[in-house]
Chain A
């Protein structure tokens, strides 16, 4: 054909393809989204922990959303060590004051930010945590200091419900 005029048939062809594509996408999305966390998984969003038995220098590990959470009651030396670190020495600069509002209590996900292993307590070059999988060292504030992990261990949303109870999530 020599003339480049849009014909009725061209319009029908384009419209059919467009509607077909939207229809296919509308069917594909539920198939993809069914794999996302379901309602029962999401319902387990918060957990309450009794920390009255925890003495300074000890860590309690609890499960929250299938992941371990470290609750560390820090000693004064650990707090001092964490607070005197200069920001420029950190891979992922965060102040200890921001990570532990109440300096005695450090609450964070016990999940290495490299590939998700659980770091070991009181280990490593910085007296904090050490991940046995690929050798990441964390300090007494759970901040990454050495190794392949890109970020500090994550501090979840939490609050003291009363003196002895922490609510995570």
Chain B
């Protein structure tokens, strides 16, 4: 890579860079060779970075007005909404920002699944990503508890009670998590502390995620290894920066729509009722982004096995690079996998839908079938497919299919060499 022999132009720059090579890092990031065929599904990394920064900045400002106490939390959130200058805006950005964050992360994850980005040599990037995803869920869950509404309180009760399914030590763990005999003030203050901590842990992991990415470089829609730098790559700046920037703008339109026109559509009306330990709301539902896992939890009639199934559904992703036995990365060249991929997408959407419905009758039956299929996909279909599937021929370079498809091959080649 070119950055190893990078030397700043100015004397001051050289003096500084010899002592702390930050300018070398900046040069690496701008020149970083990126496959030239990246499509818009690759812009969600940048969008996610934006989401994280947004959550940290709005979170810090909210923390200046929020009071983490069981008697005052609910009121302090109303105080933010009604009295604090632009408090409503900051809170709505933060609350909807969580949903936008998950929307982007799901697209990001399903992009990896389609183009096989989790396969060698990118397993570590993938696993760090799964850890980030787990931390995001923990942060979102604890953040949802902070307003101390009815859904906050009962969501916290149900989720922490999942640990009581562990044999022998379960009850002790739950009491320890609560700091009492029920969800109460000690629970709220520790959740606030952890909710504040986790985004910075995520930030650190994002740095590792990007670092690990920059070692092999980006995967791409064709899914083949790319020599870098070469005529198959373009420098990150300005090409990818502009593309990411444009995608971010589009994303922010969706974001702004929710913040300004439907700020409560993704929440539950019950959370505008203050927490009451004596009454459980008639229908407890987690936030939309946790619904598929909630459906898996409820589809198993046994308490412990339900919890095990739910956790396995997430953790199974961490071993995905070894469950998928196919050497071909991109689904573009895997006609069968492509079909199973879309069935999985539908399966997860169905799980999300039944997760929001009461766990009875037909819904329960659908949830059970969808849960079984989810595990079947990862544990049976993916490993077998790698051996059975007849894949399509993979091009030798990113440029080849472009030139091959051109009616005027010579002219295109000529143009290619001019760009170089």
Contacts and interface: CB of A to CB of B under 8 A. Distances in A.
B161 A66 contact: no
Nearest to B177: A35
A149 B158 CA distance: 12
Q: Is the interface of B mostly helix, strand, loop or mixed?
A: loop
18 contacts: A35-B177, A37-B179, A41-B181, A66-B183, A66-B277, A115-B157, A115-B161, A116-B157, A116-B158, A116-B164, A131-B280, A134-B359, A135-B359, A135-B360, A148-B301, A148-B302, A148-B306, A149-B303
B279 interface: yes
Contacts of B280: 117-118, 131-133
Given A67-B181, A114-B303, A38 B278 contact: no
Contact of B158 (A37, A66, A117, A150): A117
Contact of A63 (B162, B277, B301): B277
A61 B280 CA distance: 13
B321 to A, nearest CB: 33
Contacts of B284: 117, 132-133
A32 B29 CA distance: 41
B64 interface: no
Contacts of A117: 154, 157-158, 280, 284
Given A68-B278, A115-B161, A41 B301 contact: no
A17 interface: no
Contacts, number: 83
Interface in B177-215: 177-184, 186, 190
A38 B277 contact: no
What are the 4 tightest A-B residue pairs by CB atom distance, in nearest-first order?
A: A66-B182, A65-B181, A115-B161, A116-B161
A65 B277 CA distance: 11
Contact of B282 (A36, A114, A132): A132
Contacts of B177: 35
B interface bracket (residues with beta carbon within 8 Å of A): 35 or more
Contacts of B281: 132
A134 B277 contact: no
Given A66-B183, A148-B303, A133 B158 contact: yes
Could you say which interface size class chain A belongs to?
A: 20 to 34
Contacts of B157: 115-117
Contacts of B190: 35
B399 interface: no
A160 B180 CA distance: 26
A163 B177 CA distance: 38
A75 to B, nearest CB: 23
B298 interface: yes
A68 B183 CA distance: 12
B154 to A, nearest CB: 7
A67 B277 contact: yes
A158 to B, nearest CB: 15
Given A41-B184, A66-B181, A135-B359, 12 more contacts: A32-B176, A35-B177, A41-B181, A41-B186, A63-B277, A114-B161, A116-B158, A117-B158, A132-B281, A132-B284, A134-B298, A148-B302
Nearest to B284: A133
A61 B301 CA distance: 29
